[in-house]
Amino acid sequence: MNSNQAIRTMKKQNGSGAVQFFMMPEIGILIPIVIIMAVTASINDSLLTWRYFSTILTGCIFIGMASLAESLIIMVGEIDLSIGMSGCLAGVICGITANNLGWPLIPCILATLLTGMLVGAVNGVMITKFGLSSWIATLATQFICQGLAVTISDGLTIPIESLGTKVFTRPKPLGLSWLFFVFVIVIIILDFVVRKTTFGYRLRAVGGNKEAAQMAGINVNRIKLLVFILAGALAAVSGLFDVLTSQSASSTYGSGREFRAIICCAIGGISMAGGAGSIYGVGLGVLLFHVLWNCLRLLKVDTNLQLVLIGAILVLAVLMDIQRKRMEAKRITQ
Amino acid sequence: MQNSQPIARANVSAFRRFLRLDEVSVTIPLAIIIFITTMIRPDFLTINNFSAMFTQIPFIAVCALGAAFPLMTGNVDISTGRVAGFAGIIMASFICDYGWSTETAILFALACCVIIGLVNGLLVVHLGVPDFVATMGTLYIVGGARYLFIKGYQFALDKVPSYHYGAFFKTQFLGMLPPFWIMIVLFAIAFVVIKKTLWGRRLLATGDNREVAVLAGIPAKQMRMAAYVISAVLSGIAGIMLTLDLGLGLPETGDGWEFRAIAACVVGGVSLSGGKCSPIGILIGVLLVFATENAIIFLGLPTTMRIAVQGALMAFAVLFDIYKQKRKVAA
């Protein structure tokens, strides 16, 4: 009751509710999605068919999974450049265990996840125990993973027919692939973990203010290590999605994915300074990124101009976040 | 008795201090790699092999020197490689399509680099965008913009009548091609500026401890902006050099240079926490990166391991830097 009253008075103090509503990261993203879709649909009506939209949704899962991993890392105040390549290495491991060693499905998937977690653990140990800055440590693991993936796979494409996972590749309910539902379930679980559990609370506390978290008795290094391992596992799932969708493993998958993941996080309202953001926001950020990409394609915008636009959107999204924070700070001081 | 002890200690520490110099600590792994590879494959340590290496080194070395400036002030710039490609393409495009003279085109390309550097600096220093994300934005913008100039074909500079640098870039001076000497001159200038001028000291001080630098009256924001501009200009020079050297304007020029440049800086003893840099160290770092790549080929290891070895090299270099700093604090 008390807290309800507090919230109500807070809302009154904040002035117009509409402004606050639009300042919510999740809503802020939906507006550009709708505008872009409306503009594109008025020129090319194939966008609004469910057939087309479902292919956009199905295409989201690869970068989407990587973005979820990246968002956790950014929330804890670090950055991970190894996401794409650790997923790639994990996928190659999946291909090797399935094709060359002939393992059945479950051990294969476990080996894939373990690979990702191992890379995450190496990152975490380098950053927490030895004090490397996160981008250089993860850049090193990115190189190492890429080199290992190419070497292990010998640069070849490895088929994984022996797993009998072809059923996953056929689009089923509502024209979406099964993997899309896995992605949605992971989003829901992660959102619960970040918002409702002690671990999630600590994660945001560490990202928001490391010193304060330390003083509050949170084991900062342990939280960071756990987050890196979790992100490694999610990156491995993103690599597994590639392998399952294309029914083959190759060292060419996932290159540059870490950058796109960072962009999706920025669009999705994850604060680049750490400590703030929501998992649903990331999901919407991924969606906006793909809608935008597809709209530009439908509008026949030059591919290279698309890169320019994406860079500009990244900068804009981060500037918006900074502006949002300034307004919040002003409100608090008032 | 009381006097002799400090003197003895001073002698020992002078030797140790020499060993702990950044340049020396980079040279040791380089010497080890050269030694081991030469033991197994004697033809590794030949003039032919090394001069072949030195035809490729100058471009990345100049790029690495550029990347070192923001690192010195405690920031990072990952757009260097794309800026190099961008500068090369702009120059080639204005020579081939618009008939500009080579010199004007070079100046125009460098002016564009200054603008890119200013944008980077503005975003990071004045607007507070995290350095990594801001320069990633420019990486995409500049990387895409390169292709907008090229319109699907490459620029052949040799076919333009007013272009007369083709022969210059093929003549050897004292056994080395012009890019090598341009690199040496740029590194010499950088050495003097960083180590011997007040401005260079201020740059390092800004990276070492920003608060203290501000308190000491150093315009830290201005220094960090300048570092970004220098980074963009030096990368631009690297890209222009490669374009002139090839006689071809290729849009892919500079792809992936940014991380090799940073790797070379890190290996060469540029501290990522800022405030420490030696151009000679960077040069040896670039040499180390190339020698390792070359040694992998000579030793018959799978060439696909090249990237992995570079990554491991980089991680070890940073770990070593942190170890050294911890010892310094303990002492």
More confident residue, B217 or B329: B217
If one counts every other C-beta atom within 10 angstroms of the C-beta of residue B226, the result is 22
The predicted model scores a pTM of 0.82
CATH class of B25-34+43-330: mainly alpha
Tokens of residue A49, six digits: 């068919």
Q: Does residue A306 belong to the interface with chain B, where contact is any CB pair within 8 Å?
A: yes
pLDDT (tens digit per residue) in A38-64: 888 888 777 777 888 888 888 889 999
Q: What is the pLDDT of residue A167?
A: 67
- In this predicted complex, what is the ipTM? 0.76
| B304 against B266, higher pLDDT | B266
- Cβ within 8 Å of residue A123, ≥6 positions away: A80, A82, A134, A137, A138, A141, A228, A232
List, for residues B163-176, the tens digit of each pLDDT value: 777 777 777 777 77
Residue-level pLDDT at B319:
81
Element containing residue B249 per DSSP (H, E):
strand B248-249
* Residue B94 predicted with pLDDT over 70: yes
Question: How far apart, in whole angstroms, are the C-alpha atoms of residue B114 and residue B94?
Answer: 17
Q: How many CA atoms lie within 13 A of B272 on its CB side?
A: 23
Chain A residues with CB under 8 Å of B306 CB are 147
DSSP B125: I
In this prediction, residue A224 carries a pLDDT of 93
Ranking A4-13, B58-67, B242-251 by mean pLDDT, the lowest is: A4-13
Rounded to 5°, angle at Cα B142 from A305 and B227: 160
Which pLDDT score is estimated for A226? 94
Model pLDDT for residues B30-85, shown as the tens digit of each residue: 888 888 888 888 887 777 778 888 888 899 999 999 999 999 888 889 899 999 99
pLDDT digits (tens, 9 = 90+) for B175-217: 778 888 899 999 999 999 988 899 988 888 888 888 888 888 8
Looking at per-residue pLDDT, the higher value among B251 and A312 belongs to A312
Query: Can you tell me the mean pLDDT for A311-322?
Result: 82
Q: Do B133 and A305 touch (CB under 8 A)?
A: no
CATH 3.10.450 fits A46-325, yes or no: no
CB contact under 8 A, B128 and A322: yes
The distance in angstroms from the start CA to the end CA of chain A is: 25
Interchain contact, A266 vs B133, CB within 8 Å: yes
Question: Between residues A206 and B13, which one has the greater pLDDT?
Answer: A206
Encoded tokens for B328 = 């310094």
Calpha distance B21→B286 (Å, rounded): 17
| pLDDT tens figures, A140-171 | 899 899 889 988 888 788 888 777 766 666 66
d(CA B65, CA B80): 10
For position A13, what pLDDT does the model report?
47
Q: What is the pLDDT of residue A11?
A: 46
**Which pairs with CB-CB distance under 8 Å and at least 24 residues apart come from A170-177?**
A171/A54, A171/A58, A174/A50, A174/A54, A175/A50, A175/A51, A175/A54, A175/A55, A176/A54, A176/A57, A176/A58, A177/A58, A177/A61, A177/A245
**A2: pLDDT strictly greater than 70:** no
Average pLDDT score over chain A: 83
- Closest by CA to B210, choosing from B114, B86, B326, B72, is B72
Tokens standing for B25? Answer: 């600590």
Which residues of chain A are within 8 Å of residue B322 when distances are taken between CB atoms? 130-132
Most A CBs within 10 Å, among B75, B133, B272, B310, to test the A interface = B133
Q: What percent of chain A has pLDDT over 70?
A: 88
Residues of B in contact with A142 (CB under 8 A): 311
